[in-house]
Amino acid sequence: MQVTFLGTSSGVPTRSRNVSAIAVRLPQRSELWLFDCGEGTQHQFLKSDLRLSQLRRVFISHMHGDHVYGLPGLLASLGLAGNSSGVDLYGPDPLENYLNGVLKSSSSRIGYPIKIHTVREIAERNAVLIDDDDLLVSSTELIHRVPAYAYRVNQKPKPGRFNLKLAQSMNIPPGPIYAALQRGEQVCLDDGRIFDGKNFCGPSRAGVSLVYCTDTLFSESAITLATGADLLIHEATYAHADSELAYQRQHSTSTMAAQTALEAGVKQLVLTHLSPRYAPGNRITPQALLAEARTIFPNTILAKDFLKLEIKGES
C-alpha cells in the first residue's frame, strides 16, 4: 500500500505545502483512494505520478474548507476527461448538499456515477464502513468544532506462503491448480487425486493497515481506532507551547499526536496538517514539532507535500 501526501498544511496553503489531501494506491489493483480534498488537490495530482483516472473512493474527514474545497473541481475535471467508471464519496452529513449545490450552481455535469455515503451512524456504532474481498474500512468520531471522522484501512490477512516443492514432489501440474491451492481451496485432478490447499500453505500473513486522523483534540476514540496500525497519519497543527490555542480551536499538538501513537501501539507516526505559523525561519519550526513528538514516540516522521511511503506487510 503506497501513501502519497498531496497537501500537508492546515487552514491555508503555503509556498511549500498545499492544504489537506492524501492519496492511497492500493495493493494489487489499479485503484486510488483519496482522503480529504483541499483546494488545489487536482493541481497536486498533476505534479505527481498519480493517475486521477484511477480514483475510486474519496473519504472526507469534515466539512472545513481546507479539507473539501477542492472536491467539486476535481470531480468536474474527472468528468471532462471521460475516463471514470464511478466514484464513491464518504463523509459527514452535509457533504451531499454541499457538493450538489456547488455542481448545480456552476452548471457542472458529471458524466459518471457518484454515490455519496454518510458515515455518522456507522462511526457512532464503530461498525464497518466498507468490506470488500481484500480491504476493511472503519471510522470513528473525533473531537472538533464540527463533526469530524477518522478512517482506518485494513488489508485482510493474506494466504500463507505456497509450498512449491511439496506440490512438485506430488507431481501436481502447475498453473491454475497451484493458484487454487494457494487460496486454500480443494482441487481434484484428472487422475482422481484430491488435494486440500490448506496442506500446501503456511500460516496466513497479516495485511497492512493505516489510520488517517484529522482534525481533532486528543481523542480516546482515535486511540481505539488506531490500535496496532502499521501507520498513523495524525494532525499536529500546533506545537506543545501553543496548547492553549489547540484546546480553543480543537486541534492536536505534536505531543498529542505522539501520545495517541504511543497509546495505540502503532508502528509509525506521520505528522501532518501543520500550521503555517511554524514555517522555516520562524521561532518555532516544523523540525521543532518533530523533535517534540519524538521525545514521546521516536518512530515519527514529518510529512511534506509529495512524500511517498510504502506500507509493507509480511513478505
Report the catalytic residues: 66
Contact yes or no for 259/243 (Cβ under 8 A):
no
Locate 73 and state its grid cell. Answer: 473541481
Closest to 123 in 3D by CA, of 35, 217, 26, 224 = 224
Q: How far apart are CA 273 and CA 305, in angstroms?
A: 11
Long-range CB pairs of 300-304 (<8 Å, 24+ gap) are 300/258, 300/261, 300/268, 300/269, 300/270, 300/271, 301/268, 301/269, 301/270, 301/271, 302/270, 302/271, 302/274, 303/5, 303/8, 303/233, 303/270, 303/271, 303/272, 303/274, 304/5, 304/8, 304/16, 304/17
Locate 88 and state its grid cell. Answer: 464513491
Q: How open is the CA angle 88-207-306, to the nearest 5 degrees?
A: 60
DSSP letters for 260-276: HHHHHT-SEEEEE-B-G
DSSP state of 51: -
Contact yes or no for 196/215 (Cβ under 8 A):
no
DSSP state of 278: G
Contact yes or no for 216/235 (Cβ under 8 A):
yes
Q: How far apart are CA 38 and CA 88, in angstroms?
A: 17
